[in-house]
Amino acid sequence: MKLRMLRCLRHSKTHTHDLESTAVAATANTPEQIKQQCNDMQKKFQEPIKILLLGTAESGKTTIIKQMRILHINGYTNDERRDQIPEIYQNIHESVYQLVQHMTILGLEYQSCASRNSAAYIMSLGETAPEYMDEEYCDHVMTLWNDLGIRTCFGRSNEFPLLDSTKYKSFDFLDNFERISDYDYIPSTEDILHSRKVTTGIHKITFRVKIPKTLGGGEQEFRMYDVGGQRDQRNKWIQAFEGIQAVLFLISCADFDQSLREDPLQNRLQEALNLFRGVWQNRFLASAGIIVFLNKQDIMERKIRTGTHIVDYFPEFEEFCNSPQAENYFDECDWTKKFIKQKLIDITQEPVKRPSRNKMDYSKRECYYHFTVATDTSCIRKVFNDVHQMILHEHMANVALL
């Protein structure tokens, strides 16, 4: 099964055929020639693997980049952790500012005069966080966070764009505000993973992963590219398409009840599905393997457990649950994951509007799916190890060593 899955990360048909022809030719050569050819193939085997991260904004792409740094580049030094403080402060301030802003929009009332004064103070600062969190600022934030009106607004946050680091998690910045506002605060790894900064342009991370001795030893170089997911950033994506062997497409499972920041009338999950269709059918990515990370399943499950249901936003979910299935589920979370995955599968089976120049047969192309929690390092370690092993086995199979 695993070897069959490896095809999603092949370089190209031409490259594979070249390697196979070389391996066959090697059987008729002298031992010295065979040794040289094996060395040449080993060099090809160790060429950098280029992976492109795609998906809508806030789907978790940058978090994957951070995880690669934690797993493969020794994480963050204390100085680098301190460099993350302004970003975390901005996340907190932006969240409080949005909650205060939407109190009026949603017609909600504050619990006390003190809360109203604190709201006025936050609004007077504007959208940019203060450089330092002094005592006055901290008192106002805590007053607001303990206000029943703000908590009610927080409970309706699917009606406006609020950062995931503020909601639906056992961990969030506002519940940890006292620790974060301390003068000697140094961000933890979890803080860094939960922080968010809008990605603009193209960002690259290079790292090396050890190859098991049973597969020849040494190291494999990976180059992973992160591009902004906002609509106004997608025109830059094509600049990163050249030489890409695999695409990791991230979709937030938890976005089924939210709208885009850029377009309040567009459902976020539907936007992600539309975007996936464009990536799957893009002729410049026809030879690249596609792996989908169905991310933020932890947040999705918390939403469902607290009474938010995908059927209210995708009415066809009810029909899907009543249709004949290969597997029956009793849990709504499992049905929701199955439904979203089936949406993607259906897209891969649609007729291609603009076939690739190499006349690729899309009916034989495969797409692979993983349900992930990008902020969970153990989860990402396991998933990436699977991806890495697939790459290693594919290369070895290509050079006839398996």
Tens of pLDDT along 22-68?
444 444 567 777 666 666 656 656 678 889 899 888 888 999 999 99
128 and 209 together in one domain: no
Under 8 Å between Cβ of 373 and 297? yes
CA atoms within 13 A on the CB side of 358: 13
- Looking at the fold, whether 392 and 302 belong to one and the same domain comes out as yes
Residue 314 CA to residue 55 CA, distance in Å, equals 20
Helix, coil or strand: residue 248 = strand
- Is 359 found in the same domain as 214? yes
Same domain, 185 and 290: no
Residue 62 annotated in ligand binding: yes
- Does 107 carry a binding-site annotation? no
Question: Cβ distance 85 to 211 under 8 Å?
Answer: no
Q: Is the dihedral of CA 163, 165, 168, 173 positive or negative?
A: negative
**Residue whose entry in the numeric block shows the structure tokens 């049905």:** 335
Is residue 66 domain-resident?
yes
Q: Is 295 annotated as a binding residue?
A: yes
Model pTM score: 0.80
Residue 297 among known ligand-binding residues: yes
267 and 164 inside one domain: no
**pLDDT on residue 11:** 42
In a domain? residue 42 = no
If asked whether residues 119 and 158 sit together in one domain, one would say yes
Tell me: is residue 22 an annotated ligand-binding position: no
* Strand-by-strand arrangement of the 202-210 sheet: 202-210, 219-227, 49-55, 246-252, 289-295, 367-371
Query: Taking the mean position of all CA atoms in its chain, how far away is CA 396?
Result: 29
Phi and psi, residue 163, nearest 5°: -60, 145
Q: What is the pLDDT of residue 141?
A: 94
CB atoms within 10 A of CB 5: 18
User: How many other β-carbons are positioned within 10 Å of the β-carbon of residue 71?
Assistant: 16
Strand partners, 369: 292
Known binding residue 372? Answer is: no
The domain in which residue 217 lies consists of 48-75+199-401
Q: How many domains does the chain have?
A: 2
- Helix-helix angle 61-72:377-398, to 10 degrees: 80
User: Which pLDDT belongs to residue 233?
Assistant: 62
Is residue 196 a known part of a binding site?
yes
Query: Is 152 annotated as a binding-site member?
Result: no
Please tell me the least confidently modeled range out of 118-127, 145-154, 186-195, 230-239: 230-239
Q: Is residue 9 part of a domain?
A: no
On whether both 151 and 252 belong to a single domain, the answer is no
Residue 164 — very low, low, confident or very high, per pLDDT cuts 50/70/90?
A: low
Amino acid 21: pLDDT: 45
Domain boundary among 171, 194, 217: 194
Q: What is the per-residue pLDDT for 83?
A: 95
Among 152, 175, 194, give the residue marking a domain's end.
Answer: 194
Domain boundary among the residues 194, 210, 236 is at 194
Task: Assess whether pLDDT exceeds 90 at residue 197.
Answer: no
Domain identity same for 249 and 386: yes
Q: How far is CA 108 from the centre of its chain?
A: 34
- Say what the pLDDT of residue 158 is: 82
